[in-house]
């Protein structure tokens, strides 16, 4: 009777180890966020470049984020989702053409994707959201850095001008399991497997 009770207690403890490891990995999903809200006016041929950096702020930047939660560490976190968003508006509420690009800094700028968009809204306001995983760009955000640009292409038939209200990058991430947590988790799983074999 005592031996069986010990086995039951051990089984419960091992189950708690497994549950703790699962809970720690599954429920710690913080959101790292950076937003630029400078209300920038773009005329035909103008371009504004946003350098998102979730790991820190460049002290010499000329276009610094207005909202910044840069505690992201590529060695400690793994992104699970990434959303790039832009809010634009037009004073004359006319049709506008917008070019949005995401770039990678290497030997010069390498364009990862380009979208030529337009809007003709009655209130002159429009928002664009880009899920980076849909563009096969999810791996590009793993270091917490991304460069995106918005420009107003030259259009012959009308004056192409608009304001960029804000640009933001939002990344959800889960922690990379620490070795101690992994050992605890694996020990619990192995222990339960052994008890299942040993118990009658």
Residue 25 has pLDDT above 50, yes or no: no
Nearest Cα neighbor of 34 from 137, 146, 162 is: 146
Residue 148 has pLDDT above 70, yes or no: yes
Biggest distance spanned by C-alpha atoms of the chain? 90
pLDDT above 70 covers a percentage of the chain that reads 70
Q: Measured between alpha carbons, how far is residue 87 from residues 26, 29, 34, 157, 168 in Å?
A: 32, 26, 14, 24, 9
- Sequence-ordered strand ranges (E) for the chain: 31-36, 40-42, 47-53, 67-68, 77-89, 96-106, 108-119, 125-131, 145-151, 162-175
- pLDDT attached to residue 75: 92
Residue 183 has pLDDT above 90, yes or no: no
- Structural domains in the chain, CATH included, are 30-175 (2.60.120.230)
Summarize the confidence of residues 17-32 as an average pLDDT: 57
Cα gap 109→140, rounded to integer Å: 14
Q: Residues 116, 121, 127, 128: what is their CA dihedral angle, to the nearest 10 degrees?
A: -30
- pLDDT attached to residue 24: 44
- DSSP letter, residue 63: S
pTM, two decimals, is 0.73
Q: Measured between alpha carbons, how far is residue 37 from residues 19, 128, 172 in Å?
A: 42, 15, 21
Question: Coil, strand or helix: which one is 156?
Answer: coil
Summarize the confidence of residues 167-178 as an average pLDDT: 89
């Amino acid at each position: 009777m005592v031996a069986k009770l010990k086995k039951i207690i051990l089984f419960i403890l091992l189950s708690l180890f497994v549950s703790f490891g699962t809970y720690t990995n599954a429920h710690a999903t913080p959101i790292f966020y950076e937003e630029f809200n400078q209300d920038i006016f773009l005329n035909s041929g103008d371009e504004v470049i946003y350098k998102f950096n979730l790991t820190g702020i460049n002290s010499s930047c000329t276009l610094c984020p207005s909202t910044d939660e840069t505690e992201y560490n590529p060695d400690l976190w793994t992104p699970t989702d990434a959303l790039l968003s832009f809010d634009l508006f037009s004073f004359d509420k006319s049709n506008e053409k917008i070019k949005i690009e995401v770039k990678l800094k290497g030997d010069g700028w390498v364009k990862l994707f380009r979208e030529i968009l337009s809007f003709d809204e009655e209130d002159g306001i429009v928002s664009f959201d880009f899920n980076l995983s849909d563009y096969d760009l999810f791996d590009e955000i793993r270091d917490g850095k991304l460069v995106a640009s918005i420009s107003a292409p030259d259009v012959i038939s009308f004056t192409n001008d608009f304001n960029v209200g804000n640009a933001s990058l939002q990344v959800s991430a889960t922690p990379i399991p620490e070795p101690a947590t992994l050992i605890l988790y694996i020990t619990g799983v192995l222990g339960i497997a052994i008890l299942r074999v040993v118990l009658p």
